[in-house]
Structure 1
Amino acid sequence: MRPGRLPALLFGIALAGPAGAAADIVDGSYGDTEGCHYAATGESSGADFFFLLNKDGVTTAASYCEFKGEAKQMGGATVVPAECHEEGYEETTPYELTLTPDNGGYTISFPDGTRWGPIMRCKK
């Protein structure tokens, strides 16, 4: 997979410290309705699109980005290295994702300007 392919592929569905730093700032599960369903049950509802952010990474219906390496605070946001895997491909692509607090949730930004969110906290 070529770098940049994942954000370009998902652009149409995009919504407007130490290694454990992502776990420190992401203190639960954040997602849309379908993403929160996935967080609660571990199973997809069958929806074509969903977003879920937790301490391990970002999951969508078509991809998974696992947080790796050291996270850095940049102003009010956190930049987290991640390895993203697109459904149907074996390769992973490295990205630096920016997690920005946004109205009680987070917006996830890719280096190419693609943004997902705000993704709100899942109800328990």
Structure 2
Amino acid sequence: MKNLKLFVLALGLFTLNLSAANLNPIKATDELRSEMIELIGSNFMDEMLEDQYEANVLFTVNANKELIVLSVESDNDQLENYLKRRLNYKKVNHKPTKYGEIYLLPVKMIKQI
């Protein structure tokens, strides 16, 4: 009986892991992307040494039309923190077609010369 419980638990964790790995984020709409670009701003590049930085922002929009940042993938920790600080829990005018949709926004920041 103990082995059966352990097997069921392992099978459940395996299934959960597979379903989490199959997240297919959708691209943000042009309107949502524009609002996010305004929220991000350009202040970050004034302080940075390199001319270009890239990141992928994974987020969702809740029922209150607030951005919820799920993750930021970047080689630069400062950029990750900056994007989280500028976007997380900020209001937008986007109403998702269904709640819980996960969006992907690729961000490329280039220093203006």
Q: How does the TM-score come out when normalised to structure 2?
A: 0.33
Of the two, which has the highest radius of gyration?
2
Structure number with the higher strand fraction is 1
Which protein, 1 or 2, shows the higher relative CO under an 8 Å CA cutoff with sep ≥ 6?
A: 2
TM-score (normalizing by structure 1): 0.31
